[in-house]
Amino acid sequence: MFWSSITGRLTILYTLSAFGMLVLSTVFLYRVLISGLETEDNEFIDDKIHVLQDIFQKNPNNIEDLAEEMKWERTALDSSPYYIRVLDQSGHTLIETSGMSGIIAPSLFPVPDLIGSVNLSKNEIKWRSPKGKPYLLKAAWAEVVPLQDEREQRETLGRLGFEVGSLQRERRLFQIALDVSDDEALIAVYRRRLLIVLLLGILFSAAAGIVVARRGMRPLKEVTRVVQRITATQLHERISPTRWPKELIALATAFDDMLNRLENSFNQLSQFSADLAHELRTPINNLMGEAEVALSRTRTLDEYRHVLESSLEEYGRLSRMIDSLLFLARAESRDTQIKRSLLNAFKEIKAVQEFYESVAEEQGVEVTCQGNALLNVDPILFRRAVSNLLSNALQYTPRGGKVTLSVKQTDDECVEVSVSDTGSGIDPEHLPKIFDRFYRADRARSQHPQGAGLGLAIVKSIMDLHGGTVAIKSEPDKGTTVTLRFPYASDEQTGDVSLEPK
Amino acid sequence: MHVLIIEDDKKTAAYLSKGLSESGFIVDATDKSDEGLHLARTGDYDLVILDVMLPGRDGWSVIAEIRRSGKQTPVLFLTARDSVQDRVKGLELGADDYLVKPFAFSELLARIHSILRRSPVRQPEILRIADLEIDLLRHRAMRGGKPLDLTPKEFALLSLLARRKGEVLSRTLIAEQVWDMNFDSDTNVVDVAVRRLRRKVDDPFEKKLVHTVRGVGYVLEDHQEQKG
């Protein structure tokens, strides 16, 4: 659950990395401390051994000097107790710090190499007494090098022919035990502190992680706040990409684009509602008015009949409007399916022409059909589209004019169906909106009372259903051409297509 | 002819009862689906007019029950919902026809007639109304012994009106039957075509046969014959 929020993830990752760094650095410091203490202890022991070796070598037979030295050192450095034992070549203890034998037996010490060098080999070991006290143990040999004059005497004697025995070298083994419990205590304290530091560190880095993640996410929150402010009435507001960090610019831009589209649709929708209300108002007003007037006094039967007939006409208008609106609404829903079949396009436009023949003749407008093509479309919808176009063309074409219906197979396997007239044309300013619902180019002129201004919107939605397009070209006083362009629809695409042309 | 109406909207039921009674049907109406189902199963009706949206048991369930009980009484659905799925569902359940509200009463009458007529009746080859004579085989029409000069579509229109003599035909139905234009449109095409037909069939003669029923449609009948 925590992982599902970006803040949560950032916090966890930040805390882990900060804590990791902290652990690494404390481990490093701990190691440095331990090795520092070890080095110090070793140096101390080596130092001691050097001093003792020195004393011994200067005066091999004087134990008292050694004892003196040992005593002196003990009193001087009481804080760091150590024990010294001196053994002869055969392993007999010559002298030792008082009480040492009770604690550390000579056999516990490592056995150093038998060399006369002053160079001390690294042979110290750690040992824990039965009481639990830790000691650092080290042993080293010391040799008495024969004095210069003694050697010379012997050489002289040898040259003179005296029998000289081999020179007996004196050796002593120094064993030193350093009580390192202070070190251990120090390390234990240090370790405890490090643990506390680590515990505090993880808490602190978690807290810092939360703060950092929150801070990092703050622009996102602000975007959310800005977005939340936008309601249906404030769709003109934009969240302006420039205000935001780089990462959010793409989001802000996309969001603004979406707002643009929404505002557009929203405006269209409210325009549509207003138009719808307006279109409903007229017939309903007629109905109310006529009924009211009719009922205001006694009428003849014929008058009542007249009112009823007139209201029936209005109801018919309303009912057709509802049908058209439902048609448009259904065409917009995504799951609307159309039933295509293969048609002879010329026959279809000819049928529509025949339907309008009487109207055209009455108006003195000549309607002709031309071209040839095969179409894979919904036959009812196709006729409806062409019928709406022809009906419009006839309305706007004066006596003596011409309307041409034509079909054409284009090079890219599309079929174009166009309806052109020699009528009054449409002002260019109206063209972009001509396919909107209820939009009428001649809103002011009411000389063409037919229809509710949904005809072209229906044509457009029929084309949308077929995946086609509709284009309009018009020149005032010269005429208008509307072209429907049906894309090539293969049989596989359309499923059950009856192969027989209707 | 005995018709059962199952419809919960009082106004609709009332005007349907009135209109159908006046058209010569014997009408029973109920606003409860269970009562309607009982009547349909036990009674001997020629047709059931059934609303889809009924309180309690809906129209789908009523027709399913009627069919389950073995009754094959024709059923005509009325509904305000007209998605394709709804139509298909109604027809699958065994409905004979489907009308979407709002509908013209004349349309309903026409559908009822067509359901009840479904058993094919041999059309006479020559129709006679007053002094109008229509030869359906030869595509010829005469009035008062004189041949009428009609275009093919005008002939189709006239013979449609003559075949459904006395029945008011809506503009939508006429456009469907004569021109195969299966959609409602706001155009006045049918009015113009009827006007032109009248010019040839009625204008030269004293007795008018094609009549306008304002707001509804057109009917061909011999008024004197009806009165007499």
User: From A338, which residue of chain B is nearest by alpha-carbon distance?
Assistant: B84
**Under an 8 Å CB criterion, which residues of A touch B?**
308-313, 315-317, 319-320, 322-324, 326, 330, 337, 351-352, 354-359, 361-362, 380, 383-384, 387-388, 391, 450-452, 455
β-strand partners of B100: B79
Helix (H, G, I), strand (E, B) or coil at A334: coil
Q: Mean pLDDT across chain A, nearest whole number?
A: 81
Query: For residue B51, which phi and psi values (nearest 5 degrees)?
Result: -85, 140
CB contact under 8 A, B185 and A315: no
Closest CA to A468 of A387, A385, A401, A395: A385
Task: Kindly give the residue spans of alpha helices, DSSP state H, lying in B104-169.
Answer: 105-116, 152-163
pLDDT at A78: 52
The amino acid at A315: Y
Instruction: Give a yes or no: residue B121 inside a domain.
Output: no
pLDDT tens for each residue of A381-423: 999 999 999 998 998 889 999 999 999 988 888 899 999 999 8
Quick one: which H or E segment has residue A284? helix A246-295
Give A462: exposed, middle or buried? Use CB within 10 Å, 0-12, 13-18, 19+. buried
Q: What is the ipTM of this complex?
A: 0.72
Q: Which of A310, A319, A451 sits opposite B102 (nearest CB)?
A: A319
Q: Could you tell me if B105 and B10 lie in one domain?
A: yes
Q: Is residue B16 part of a domain?
A: yes
Same-domain pairing of B141 and B45: no
Same domain, B176 and B214: yes
Q: Do A362 and B181 touch (CB under 8 A)?
A: no
For residues B8 and B106, membership in a common domain is answered with: yes
Render B136-151 in DSSP notation, one character per residue. TTTTEEEETTEEP---
Residue B112 lies in a domain: yes
State the sign of the Cα–Cα–Cα–Cα dihedral B76, B80, B84, B85: negative
User: Over 70: is that where the pLDDT of B180 sits?
Assistant: yes
pLDDT value of position A163 = 66
Q: Tell me how many residue pairs between chain A and chain B have CB atoms under 8 A apart.
A: 76
In the block, which residue shows the tokens 């190499």?
A: A113
Token pair, residue A462, equals 């029929």
- Are B101 and B133 found together in one domain? no
CA distance A127 to A302: 131
Q: Is the pLDDT of residue A287 over 50?
A: yes
pLDDT confidence of residue A121: 60
Question: CB A355 to CB B175 under 8 A?
Answer: yes
CA-nearest residue to B157 within chain A is: A355
Query: Residue B180's domain spans which residues?
Result: 126-227
d(CA A355, nearest CA chain B) in Å = 6
Inspect the interface and report whether the beta carbons of A354 and B183 lie closer than 8 Å.
no
The beta-carbon contacts of A330-337 under 8 Å, at least 24 apart in sequence, are A330/B83, A331/A461, A331/A462, A331/A464, A331/A465, A332/A461, A336/A465, A337/B84
pLDDT in tens, B21-37: 888 889 999 999 899 99
Q: Could you tell me the strand order of the sheet in which A134-143 lies?
A: A93-96, A82-88, A171-179, A134-143, A125-128
Q: How far is CA A256 from CA A232, A271, A389, in A?
A: 14, 22, 38
What number is the average pLDDT over the span A321-340?
Answer: 82
The domain spanning residue B145 has which CATH number?
1.10.10.10
Find, in chain B, the residue whose alpha carbon is nearest to that of A305.
B214
Q: List strand residue ranges (DSSP E) for A222-327, in order.
A: none
Average pLDDT over residues A442-450: 49
User: Which tops the pLDDT comparison, B74 or A94?
Assistant: B74
- Between CA B42 and CA B198 the distance in angstroms is 49
Q: Which of B104, B180, B193 sits opposite A358 (nearest CB)?
A: B193
Output the pLDDT for position B148: 92
Q: Which of A307, A308, A358, A361 to mutate to test the interface with B (most CBs of B within 10 A)?
A: A358
A226 vs chain B: nearest CA distance in angstroms?
41
Residue B89 belongs to domain with CATH number: 3.40.50.2300
Residue percentage of chain A with pLDDT more than 90: 16
Q: What's the pLDDT score for residue B24?
A: 86
Q: Are residues B8 and B31 in the same domain?
A: yes
Residues of chain B found within 8 Å of residue A391, distances taken between Cβ atoms = 185-187
* Cα A337 to the center of its chain, rounded Å: 38
Q: Which fold has domain A341-494?
A: Heat Shock Protein 90 (3.30.565)
pLDDT band at A501 (very low <50, low <70, confident <90, very high): very low
Q: Which residues of B touch A (CB under 8 A)?
A: 82-84, 102, 104, 151, 153, 175, 179-189, 192-193, 195-196, 214-216
C-alpha–C-alpha distance, residues A202 and A19, integer Å: 6
Q: How far apart are the first and last CA of chain A?
A: 62
Taking the CA atoms of chain B, what radius of gyration do you get in angstroms?
20
- A-chain residue closest to B82, CA distance: A326
Asked if B102 and A310 come within 8 Å (Cβ–Cβ), the reply is no
Q: Which residues contact A78 (CB under 8 A, 6 or more apart)?
A: none
Q: CB–CB of A441/A429 below 8 Å? A: no
Inspect the interface and report whether the beta carbons of A351 and B184 lie closer than 8 Å: no
Q: What is the pTM of this model?
A: 0.62
Whether residues B112 and B131 fall in one domain? no
Quick one: pLDDT band at residue A113, thresholds 50, 70, 90? low
Task: Kindly report which listed range (A22-26, A176-180, B12-16, B83-87) carries the lowest average pLDDT score.
Answer: B83-87
Residue B214 lies in a domain: yes
Q: Is beta strand B2-6 parallel, antiparallel or unpaired with respect to B26-30? A: parallel
Specify the 3-state DSSP secondary structure of A464.
helix
CATH of the structural domain A241-332, one choice from 3.40.50, 1.10.287, 2.60.40, 1.10.3470:
1.10.287
What average pLDDT does the structure give for chain B?
Answer: 86
Asked whether the beta carbons of A440 and A278 are under 8 A apart, the reply is: no
Residue type, A51: V
| Residue B21 sits in the same domain as residue B88 | yes
| Same-domain check for residues B96 and B188 | no
- b (16+ CB within 10 A) / e for A307-341: beebbbbbebbbbbbebbbebbeebeeeeeeeebb
Q: Are residues B110 and B13 both part of a single domain? A: yes
- Domain count across chain B: 2
Per-residue pLDDT at A72: 63
Q: Check whether B175 has a pLDDT greater than 50.
A: yes
pLDDT at A495 over 60: no
